[in-house]
Structure 1
Amino acid sequence: MPRRILQGTVTSDKNEQTITVLVERRFPHPVMKKTVRVTKKYRAHDENNTFKVGDTVRIIECAPISKSKRWTVVTEQA
């Protein structure tokens, strides 16, 4: 099964080698047909502490690194 890749915005970089990424998902409501926005936060591994709050990044699934980290940063979007 392929690993998922998500894109989001960094909301926190206070922890060592960890960033929090806010990912927004949009989809049409099945009954109302209105576009719904759902957000979720993911904790991602940032090896060199290179990403700061406000950066747009792509994260990919990986093996568990800690209790809450199951994602690693791939690249920063322009």
Structure 2
Amino acid sequence: MAKKERIGIVVSNKAAKTIIVVIQTKYQHPKYGKILIKTKRYMAHDENNLCKTGDMVLVEECPPYSRHKKWILKEILNK
């Protein structure tokens, strides 16, 4: 099974080797048809502390690093 990948924006890099990435998903309400935006925050592992707040990044699913960190930084798309 392929690992999941998500594109998001870094909103925090205050913890050592950890970033918080916000990922927004658009979906349509099943009954009313309105387009809604779901926002989800993920903690990701950043081994070399390369990311800064506002960077657009690609994160990939991985085995857990800690209780909340189950994603790893794969690539920085935009600085």
What is the root-mean-square deviation in Å for CA atoms of aligned residues?
0.7
Cα distance in structure 2, aligned partners of 1:26 and 1:56:
18
SS of equivalent to 1:73? strand
- Provide, for residues 35-63 of structure 1, a one-character-per-residue CA deviation record: whole Å limited to 9, x for no partner: 11000000000000000000000100000
Amino acid at match of 1:70: K
User: Where in structure 2 are the equivalents of 1:5-24 lying within 5 Å?
Assistant: 5-24=5-24
SS of equivalent to 2:2? coil
- Matched residues, percent identical? 38
Aligned residue pairs, count: 78
Partner of 2:2: 2
Gap regions ≥5 residues in structure 1: none
User: Where in structure 2 are the equivalents of 1:17-32 lying within 5 Å?
Assistant: 17-32=17-32
- Provide, for residues 54-73 of structure 1, a one-character-per-residue CA deviation record: whole Å limited to 9, x for no partner: 00001000001111100001
TM-score using structure 1 length: 0.96
SS of equivalent to 2:40? strand
- Shift >6 Å, 4+ stretches: none
Partner of 2:33: 33
Cα distance in structure 1, aligned partners of 2:68 and 2:53:
19
